[in-house]
Amino acid sequence: MSRIPSLNILLESAGHDYLQELYGQVIENVQHNTISTTLKNMNLSGDPQSGSVEAKRFVNSTAQIYGTARAAGAGVAVKARPVVVQIDQDKEIVEEIEYKDTILYGVDGLLARRSADHARTMVRNLEEAFFLEAADKADMTITAGATILETVESAIQQVETVRNNFVNGIPRDMLAIIATPYIYGQLRNFLDTNVRNAHIQVDIESVNTFHGVRIWSSIYLPPTAGMIVMAEGSVALPVMSRPYTAEKIPLSEAYAVELYYYYGVKAVTPDLIAVMNGGNGGDGGNG
């Protein structure tokens, strides 16, 4: 039996509980299916409700000769560069559900189908924003090598060996590769046809790691980017959302189901991002 036998119950406590449950499923699906959730900068301070949050990038510490602090009467002040992330992207998914549309699937079934689509919409929106910011703000450009293997390894080393006031190189377990299906497929094909290694499972979809670096295929890279190599936390993507609400559409049998979410996106460490331009990535190395 349907838990929500009619649309008007959406305005009652049982309907509120059901919409809250659907909302929880949407957020869980978004978190589970976004690469950006894994890679985005989580060290943010401030109240998102105020309209912005702040990421701080701390300057490297330096070792002093023993007794320096005692002689100076103080230690070295911690220096940080603040990066303000404005939460300035306001989005809504508002759909009207007609009574006649519930006849085939029922209210529960129709809302479950729509909420699954809403999750996919949020995933697409957030992933595209995240990777567009990464590609646009990347300080380094990846150059294609003779083979796809050389291209990817060279790109890893570009980011891995960055040294400046903030970092002294990046461990590979803190790096990630995000490639278009075309580039990812080139790498898979190279591994499938050229590598004879018991540690590479060619019968599964995901490579998982390449030379110690996590790797994903994504359909959400901007059209001008073939591959992005970045350090974890290089881009901030704070997201706020409101649970589903419903309201009756006047002079109709329709009800509006509404989902609102807000986000901001900003590169925190553009010097730790490298991008390969060219959409499909050119030949990416002939492999």
Residue 45 covered by a domain:
no
pLDDT of residue 218: 96
Which bin fits 251, alpha (ψ -120 to 50), beta or left (φ > 0)? left
Residue 64 covered by a domain:
no
Residue 267 CB neighbours (<10 A): 24
Residue 70 covered by a domain:
no
Residue 218 covered by a domain:
yes
Task: Report the number of secondary-structure helices (H) and strands (E) in the chain.
Answer: 6, 14
- CA dihedral (132, 136, 141, 146) in degrees, to 10, reads 30
pLDDT of residue 57: 81
Residue 67 covered by a domain:
no
Residue 116 covered by a domain:
yes
Pairing state between β 273-277 and 140-141 = parallel
Residue 256 CB neighbours (<10 A): 14
pLDDT of residue 58: 66
Residue 50 covered by a domain:
no
In this structure, what are the phi and psi dihedrals at residue 31, rounded to the nearest 5 degrees? Answer: -65, -35
Tens digits of residue pLDDT in 182-221: 999 988 887 777 655 544 444 444 557 888 999 999 999 9
Residue 272 covered by a domain:
yes
Tell me the whole-structure pTM to 2 decimals: 0.88
Domain count, the chain: 1
Q: Give the domain range for residue 11.
A: 7-40+88-277
**pLDDT classification of 126: cutoffs 50, 70, 90:** very high
pLDDT of residue 204: 45
pLDDT of residue 99: 92
